A and B are shown apart, each in its own frame.
Chain A
Amino acid sequence: MMTAKTNSKNKTNAKPGVWAGLFGVNVALIAVLHITGALEGPTPYILYALNFTLLIPLFRTAQQRHEQKGAMSPAMRSYNRRFLSFSALYMVVMLGASGLYNRVADGSPVLWLLAIAPALAAMGMIWTMYRYLREEADEYLRQRAVSAAMVGLGFVLVLGTGWGFLETFSLVPHIWAWWVFPAWAIGLGIGMAWPERDAGEQP
């Protein structure tokens, strides 16, 4: 049955925001060190990939929070499981690709494969979102997810356009286009976590 259960065993003070903040700060720190050249070679990619392990406590505490607020559904549990699986794949592929790309000949088919592989894992995450919207039977939760995705999209478009012009006028350094997915995910997270004026169970 498609119901949400408020489970008493989950009445812990789950704080997904702390893990999300830690994840974001780490990404920002690695990005600054990467852009300024303080980190070179595969090191920044390895650090980016390792940072993904923070998604495990982040998703776990987010799920606990949703259970407490009576906003959990079977589709959301599947979404969390799938998203974590593809994140793990993304992490492994990123670690593998960053470790190997220096040992592969420039322009070789293997290098093409290494470069495309992380995008395939990212496609899995997008597919996970699509599946969630198809499977979510609760129309209110579905509407919230769509709104959150729009927040993510707006975040990426504003940030991308803004950075693009700053870069055009040589005010900021060049950054690689793969930042769009983490930026979208951060925007999605902000949209999902947007404070609900739900005072809990009402009489």
Chain B
Amino acid sequence: MKNRLRVLRAEHEWSQQDLADRLEVSRQSVNAIETGKYDPSLPLAFKIADIFGLQIEEIFLRDIAEQAAE
């Protein structure tokens, strides 16, 4: 699943470790989510959304193929 985590993090001038500290997860987890290798659970996705003050769907994007099918 694609996401805007890297852009949002850059806007806040946070390193991966800064965001990891805020989320109380490892830096490797942030990297895995950011690069789309790992999709977070709903609780973690809500936590990410809360930290940026956004809705989940403003951060995590559906696949284009899925959107086109709707």
Could you list which residues of chain A lie within 8 angstroms of chain B, going by C-beta atoms?
Answer: 1-6, 69-73, 137-141, 143, 196-198, 201-203
Q: Which residue of A lies closest to B44 (CB)?
A: A139
Interface of A is mostly: loop
By the criterion CB–CB under 8 Å, are B17 and A140 in contact?
no
By the criterion CB–CB under 8 Å, are A4 and B16 in contact?
no
By the criterion CB–CB under 8 Å, are A3 and B21 in contact?
yes
Could you list which residues of chain B lie within 8 angstroms of chain A, going by C-beta atoms?
Answer: 6, 10, 15-17, 20-21, 24-29, 31-35, 37-38, 40-41, 44
- Residue from A2, A5, A141 within 8 A of B28 (CB atoms): A141
Interface of B is mostly: helix
Q: Which residue of B lies closest to A139 (CB)?
A: B41
- Residue from A141, A197, A203 within 8 A of B26 (CB atoms): A141
By the criterion CB–CB under 8 Å, are A140 and B33 in contact?
yes
CB distance from B24 to the nearest CB of A (A): 5
CB distance from B49 to the nearest CB of A (A): 16
**Known contacts A1-B21, A143-B38, A201 near B26 by CB under 8 Å:** no
